[in-house]
Amino acid sequence: METPSPTPPEPLKASNFEDLVHAARSERGLSENTLLAYQRAWHRLFAWAGMHRLDPAAFTAEQAAAFYKETIATSGRTAASSLVQARAALSFAYDRWDRANPFKRIKPPKAGKLPPVAYLQAHDLARLLDHLGQRRATYGECLSFYLAAALFYTCARFSEMATMRWNDCLLDAGGRPVALRIRGKGGVHQNLPVNAALSELLAEWKTIQEQYRGMKVFAARGLKFCRSDFVFCGPGGDPYTNKSFNRHLGAACRDLRLPEVLTAHGLRHSGATILLNDQGKNLKEVQEALRHRDIRTTARYTHIAFEQTRAAMDALGSSLPLPRRGR
């Protein structure tokens, strides 16, 4: 008797795709452009799997490699950012499905150097935070200041701060935040220590946010805003978006005529650089602060000041007596 061939698994339904989009929007606080890039990667994943009658949630390593080579892999400098977003989108999908990511071990093709991320040295960053702190006439301006301070003082990623809830703040006996429980890369939860400066600012922000809750209760989307438990919720109650935050941050940088226009990620770079250049921390300590697995990633985040390089060269010059020279 002939054994019937196994029925190939049906492709995931459209509802699974919509679930990914909704989760990315609510959990990551992505900008619209980044969310569109994520959706493009998922569209390709579902389309390729449907064409080959495969279940993308159960890809083997060989199937993942074939999909990646045919639809994702590109080369050239301009493709660098899209490659990073595509791999992040795929990682998010498999984390959401609670499946092993078959793309994790695939080595991406060379895509040229990633564009440099703008960062500021301590003096200019102090001016920026002071400027944001002085301009707090609206909820958005208040939110931008306290979120910028939280990103700098923790060296956290924007998505980690944007999706954090008030019950993720670990308090001491006096009710002051001493640590933040965040959901980092790969869905791993970690506790970030809170320094005294940030503890005070978070306590201030909670009071200000509660005042706005009372004012907005009868406004449009006011009820959703009042019920939101996100630490940095937007005016509609959802996590504040990267796009809105970067708009406030960029405007402040231009007002001050700073040498660089920062983004949220630039605050992380600035924190790492200040730890290295101004606070005397070594690369290993900065790696721990940024929670990088590979110290080579940390090295790309830090920007050694020219003065430090000169001091190092001067130290090297005085380490040995001048060599004797013949006639």
How far apart are the C-alpha atoms of 300 and 312, rounded to whole Å? 19
Q: Are residues 202 and 91 in the same domain?
A: no
Q: Give the domain range for residue 39.
A: 14-96
| Residue 218 is assigned to a structural domain of this protein | yes
pLDDT in tens, 63-94: 888 887 787 755 444 444 556 677 788 888 88
Q: Are residues 127 and 53 in the same domain?
A: no
| Residue 4 is assigned to a structural domain of this protein | no
| Per-residue model confidence (pLDDT) at position 11 | 47
Q: Are residues 146 and 88 in the same domain?
A: no
Start-to-end CA distance of the chain, whole Å, equals: 99
pLDDT tens for the chain, 327 residues long, are 455 555 544 445 545 777 888 888 777 666 677 788 888 888 888 888 888 888 888 888 888 888 877 877 554 444 445 566 777 888 888 888 888 888 887 776 555 555 677 888 889 999 999 999 998 989 999 999 999 999 999 999 998 999 999 999 998 888 888 999 988 776 778 888 889 999 999 999 999 999 988 776 566 667 888 889 999 999 888 899 999 999 999 999 999 999 999 999 999 989 988 888 888 888 888 888 888 888 877 777 777 666 666 666 677 666 666 566 556
Q: Are residues 60 and 133 in the same domain?
A: no
| Residue 326 is assigned to a structural domain of this protein | no
Neighbours of 83 (CB within 10 A): 20
Q: Are residues 89 and 140 in the same domain?
A: no
| Residue 111 is assigned to a structural domain of this protein | no
Neighbours of 235 (CB within 10 A): 19
Residues in Cβ contact with 64 at an 8 Å cutoff, skipping those fewer than 6 apart: 102, 103, 106
Phi, psi of 230 (to 5 degrees): -70, 135
Of 40, 148, 140, 150, the closest CA to residue 90 belongs to 40
| Per-residue model confidence (pLDDT) at position 326 | 59
CATH of the domain at 172: 1.10.443.10
| Per-residue model confidence (pLDDT) at position 29 | 67
Range list of β-strands (E), 2-65? none
Q: Are residues 218 and 71 in the same domain?
A: no
Q: Are residues 177 and 290 in the same domain?
A: yes
| Per-residue model confidence (pLDDT) at position 1 | 45
| Residue 47 is assigned to a structural domain of this protein | yes
Q: Are residues 155 and 302 in the same domain?
A: yes
| Per-residue model confidence (pLDDT) at position 131 | 94
